[in-house]
Amino acid sequence: MQLYYIRHGQSINNANTENRGYQEHSDPYLTEIGKRQAQITAQYLKERQTITNTDSWNSQNQFGFGFTHIYASLMERATETAAYTARALGDNILFEAWVDIHEEGGIYAREEDERFKGLAGKPRSFFAQNFPEMKLPGSLDESGWWNRPFEDEDQRQTRADKVLAELLARHGDKEGQPEERIVFVSHGGFFMRFMCAVLKLPWRQAALGLRSWFLLNNCSISRFDFRKDYAMVSYVNNTNHLPGELITG
């Protein structure tokens, strides 16, 4: 099984990281730059969806991708980013929400007087109206998809470990069945947790007392290969499909 991890396009929060007067949005939407990044990524993946050479080692996807499933976080910026690719690839690719690949913390208030208060998240009608091609969880109703307290630090790695185990159970290689090629459209913070899950790394600890982080640019692509007896990180944070002026953090 191959997993392709795509970070969402630039959000309104991303665009204002240096703006001290900016009030962060609890569920930030894509900027015009973010939409353009997502559109270019979708077109790039569409043009390379068909695998043109099955005899050679396709380690950098030089012969295509061959995606079979697309999963997106239910945070608006990830869902919209994923929808561009899902629409470009057409109805033959399953496009589905995966609640647990959301960003760290969940949906929560950013205002000083209510900071870290859990919020509702978008309701079912929002996704049905704006992303009708996405399969939604049966439990999602008009009360919103989050409706929980702020996700504490001690819950985050457990969630990433659970996602990895479920991914392998759903899509891991099975005798006599074709290999599945999965897309996650998710978030930078969750990627760090996911890498810790895959590689059994301690959280943010590097050598010599340094703090570690895996940088992901908006709409970058990272690839994991999972086989019976190993997990391989083939590449991380590939942005070669984006023009230089659209590479953002």
If you average pLDDT over residues 7-17, what whole number do you get? 97
Q: What is the pTM of this model?
A: 0.97
% of the chain residues with pLDDT over 70? 100
- What value does the mean pLDDT take over residues 143-171? 97
| CB 30, CB 211: distance < 8 Å | no
pLDDT of residue 138 exceeding 90, the answer is: yes
Angle of helix 188-199 versus helix 153-171 axis, rounded to 10: 70
Q: Would you list the domain boundaries of the chain?
A: 2-180+192-246
Q: Is the pLDDT of residue 112 over 90?
A: no
Question: If you average pLDDT over residues 161-183, what whole number do you get?
Answer: 96
pLDDT tens digits for 31-43?
A: 999 999 999 999 9
pLDDT digits (tens, 9 = 90+) for 189-226: 999 999 999 999 999 999 999 999 999 999 999 999 99
Provide the mean pLDDT of the chain: 96
In the predicted structure, residue 180 carries a pLDDT above the cut 90:
yes
Predicted confidence band of residue 113 (pLDDT cuts 50, 70, 90)? confident
At residue 35's C-alpha, the angle toward residues 29 and 41, to 5°, is: 130
Give first-to-last CA distance, the chain, whole Å.
28
CATH number of this structure's domain 2-180+192-246: 3.40.50.1240
Question: Each residue of 78-95: pLDDT tens digit?
Answer: 999 999 999 999 988 999
